[in-house]
Amino acid sequence: MGLFLTTPEGVHLDFGTHDPMLREKKFLKSVLKILEERSHDRNSIVHQLAVRGLGNLVYGAPEKVKKHKKFLMVILIRALNDTFSSEVIGESMKALANVLKELKGKDIGSSFRDLTQQIRTYFDNEEDDLRLMAFVLFGILARFTKRKWKAYFADQVRKSWVTLLLHLQDPNPKVSTVRPTVTYLLTELKPEELQVDICRHLVSVSC
C-alpha cells in the first residue's frame, strides 16, 4: 500500500514504492519533515500513516536508512508508547522490523536498550498481532548482541523465559509461527542458569 505525499515544491511522491525521486536529497528532506510533523498528530490514523511512511523508507530509498537512523529510531520508538491506538503501535513494530534489517549493531547505539525493554512489555499482550511482532522484533534484535549488548540481552531473555516458554504453546497459530525464534532465544541461556531461574520462579509462585 503506497503512501502518497506532496512536497512543498508540489511534487507528488509515493513513499511506499521505489520512487526514484525519494533518492533526491531535496525531496526526501521535505517528505521526512512532513512525516515527522504528522507523527505528532492527535489523529491516530494520521499518526499511523506517518509511521508507515517512515518504515517504507526502506523500500523507497534503502541507502538513506543509515543516514537518518537516529531520526527514524526516535520517532518509531516513541510510537511504541502510544496509549490510544494499538494500530499505531503495530505499525511502529512493522516499521522498526524493516529499518533494523538495514542497520548494524553500532548503528542502533543506546536505542538498543530502550527498544529491548519496550518490546518485552508486549510479549503478553492480548492482541495477537502485537504479540507476534514483539517476538519477531526481539528475534531481530538478537542478531545485534554479538559484542556490546550480549550480556544485557541475555539478561533480558532470562527475565522473559517464562513468557517465552509459554509462547511455544501459543493458542494462536499465526503467533506460533515464530516458534523457531523463541527456541533460538531460549538456547542463549545456559542450562544451569535456566535451572536456577526455574527454581526461583517456582518458589515465588508457591509463596
Q: In 3-state terms, what secondary structure has residue 128?
A: helix
The C-alpha angle with vertex 121 and arms to 54 and 37, in degrees rounded to 5, equals: 25
Residue 118 lies in a domain: no
Alpha carbon distance 21, 8 (integer Å)? 14
- What domain range is 24 assigned to? 1-103
- Assign residue 20 the CATH number of its domain: 1.25.10.10
Q: Tell me: the pLDDT tens digits for 62-102? A: 777 888 888 999 999 999 988 889 999 999 999 999 999 88
Q: Tell me: the pLDDT tens digits for 155-200? A: 887 788 777 777 777 777 777 666 656 666 656 555 555 555 555 5
Q: How many domains does the chain have?
A: 1
pTM for this prediction: 0.76
Q: Specify the pLDDT at position 206.
A: 47
**Position 1 pLDDT exceeds 50:** no
Where is mean pLDDT largest: 17-26, 31-40, 51-60? Answer: 31-40
The C-alpha angle with vertex 197 and arms to 138 and 167, in degrees rounded to 5, equals: 40
The whole-number average pLDDT for the span 121-141 is 89
Residue 76 lies in a domain: yes
Task: List all residues 6 or more positions away from 74 whose beta carbon is below 8 Å from its beta carbon.
Answer: 111
Residue 125 lies in a domain: no
**CA dihedral of residues 76, 177, 2, 20 (deg, nearest 10):** 80
Cell digits of residue 44: 491516530
Task: List all residues 6 or more positions away from 163 whose beta carbon is below 8 Å from its beta carbon.
Answer: 123, 124
Residue 54 lies in a domain: yes
Q: Tell me: the pLDDT tens digits for 30-51? A: 888 888 998 998 889 889 988 9
